A = this chain, B = another copy of it.
Amino acid sequence: MSILIKEVFLNKEIVDVYIENGVFKKIGKSLNVEADQVISGKDRAIIPSFFNVHTHAAMTLLRGYADDMDLHTWLNNHIWPFERKLTPDDVYIGTKLACLEMIKTGTTFFCDMYWHVEAIAQAVDEMGIRAAISSAYVDFEDPKKGEYFQKKNREFFYSPPKVSSRVMFIMGPHAIYTVSKASLEWIRDFAQDMGLFVNIHVAETKKEMEDCKKIRGTTPVKYLDDIGFLNERCILAHVIWVDEEEIEILKNRNVKIAHVPTSNMKLASGSFKFDEFINKGLIVGIGTDGCASNNNLDMLEEMKIAALRAKMASNSPTSGKSDDIFRCATKNGATIFGIDAGEIKEGKVADCVLIDLNHPQMVPCHNLISNLVYAANGDVVTTTICNGKILMHNRYVEGEEEIIKTAKKQVKSILDRL
């Protein structure tokens, strides 16, 4: 399986890019190679595809279902009653819809936390992108539930679903206020034994921080550190309510950060300290969160909002520079999950997209990265390639009409069940 992209812009030069067996094999001027597929790069730039490091993909089914509410009303009266009705079929279809939107907006990887992970894995496998999938672990301090989840996790990870190597399974304790200490310690040890990544929501709201202080006598980050939970395989989402000392702890433990700016703003959760994390040298990726708190999965839009949010957080227009933001949304995401992608270089995994340099929002092009971060949205992506395979070309994804049709029908059936 090979692809030759002819005469495409890469760092202001026009080159040919030859992809073989999922990696960039050769990049250079006028390559003299044959390929199974040859596509034109005329008026296109090639860039790494996007890595969405925190979402709940199947929540596309809840896009616009409930907005503009206080957290309690939103969750109790709307989101949870809807989610309680979701079957594996619903989740499969919701995840396919999410994957479609991601492919259309240039994203080829997402980190997911939800239920019915087999259905998620199947959807991802079929759609051709990558994912790190975790089943939400929520025991609500109930030891019986804890045991149940531990048994389920053992069974699952000892014999995981047989799917493409593009899919990895990781652990997903929901948060410190929904998972008991005993369970967190079990997860810590199990993940260590199995070499698993762990993603968890941490320090998202002021309430979480205050409750933690009341109940545990310390902050969420320090609580996790005290029980030895934090290490280089941990991906912490949100991480808003932290001080300098805690950022230092996170840095020392080499923890990875999933920054979800839109969700943080939409739910009025607080201000992510972008500068402090970056300056301290922590690896920060960018995520869209789920469609109930965003309400899309467009990483190009998310980059802009991340940049704007960073400037506000520090009260300076020099924060959240476009190059830094772009790296967070591409290479950093790959690095966090140990994928050798995120750059257009020989030997790297061939996850990439082509950008339409004639799209009105890309003209003029004084600075490609600035245009991508500040001016463009997902529709500037014309071609999406994951693992050396074309998933979208000329903005068309095979079978997209069917996915849209099925998703619409499925949502109707969920509403009928409510």
Copies of this protein in the complex: 2
Given contacts A101-B360, A104-B360, contact A371 B318 (CB under 8 A): no
A81 at the interface (CB under 8 A from B): no
A193 at the interface (CB under 8 A from B): no
A355 at the interface (CB under 8 A from B): no
Give which listed residue, B296, B305, B358, B370, contacts A308 with CB less than 8 A.
B305
CA distance A104 to B275 in the complex (A): 35
Instruction: Tell me the smallest distance from the CB of A300 to a CB of chain B, in Å.
Output: 9
Is B363's CB under 8 angstroms from A97's CB?
A: yes
Give which listed residue, B101, B267, B367, contacts A65 with CB less than 8 A.
B367
Contacts of A411 in B (CB 8 A): 364, 366
Given contacts A68-B318, A70-B316, A305-B305, contact A404 B266 (CB under 8 A): no
Interface size class for chain A? 35 or more
A235 at the interface (CB under 8 A from B): no
Instruction: Tell me the smallest distance from the CB of A287 to a CB of chain B, in Å.
Output: 16
CA distance A400 to B359 in the complex (A): 10
Q: Residue on B with the closest CB to A415?
A: B366
Given contacts A70-B318, A366-B63, contact A295 B371 (CB under 8 A): yes
Is B294's CB under 8 angstroms from A374's CB?
A: yes
Contacts of A378 in B (CB 8 A): 377, 379
A131 at the interface (CB under 8 A from B): no
Is B317's CB under 8 angstroms from A370's CB?
A: no
Is B317's CB under 8 angstroms from A375's CB?
A: no
Is B301's CB under 8 angstroms from A377's CB?
A: yes
Name A283-317 residues within 8 Å CB distance of B. 291, 294-296, 298, 301, 304-305, 307-309, 311-312, 314-317
A119 at the interface (CB under 8 A from B): no
Instruction: Tell me the smallest distance from the CB of A160 to a CB of chain B, in Å.
Output: 29
Contacts of A401 in B (CB 8 A): 358
A55 at the interface (CB under 8 A from B): no
Instruction: Tell me the smallest distance from the CB of A277 to a CB of chain B, in Å.
Output: 17
CA distance A238 to B316 in the complex (A): 17
Contacts of A266 in B (CB 8 A): 307-308, 311, 317, 374
Q: Residue on B with the closest CB to A312?
A: B265
A58 at the interface (CB under 8 A from B): no
A348 at the interface (CB under 8 A from B): no
Q: Residue on B with the closest CB to A414?
A: B364
Q: A59-102: contact bitstring with B at CB < 8 Å (1 yes, 0 no)? A: 01111110111110010000000000000000000000100110
Is A69's CB under 8 angstroms from B366's CB?
A: no
Is B68's CB under 8 angstroms from A317's CB?
A: yes
A321 at the interface (CB under 8 A from B): yes
A365 at the interface (CB under 8 A from B): yes
CA distance A238 to B204 in the complex (A): 31
Give which listed residue, B104, B265, B316, B360, contacts A268 with CB less than 8 A.
B316
Task: Return 25 A-B CB contacts under 8 Å, by A number.
Answer: A60-B363, A60-B364, A64-B371, A65-B367, A67-B367, A68-B319, A69-B318, A70-B317, A74-B317, A266-B308, A268-B312, A268-B315, A268-B319, A291-B375, A295-B371, A298-B361, A301-B301, A301-B304, A312-B312, A358-B401, A360-B404, A363-B408, A364-B408, A364-B411, A378-B379
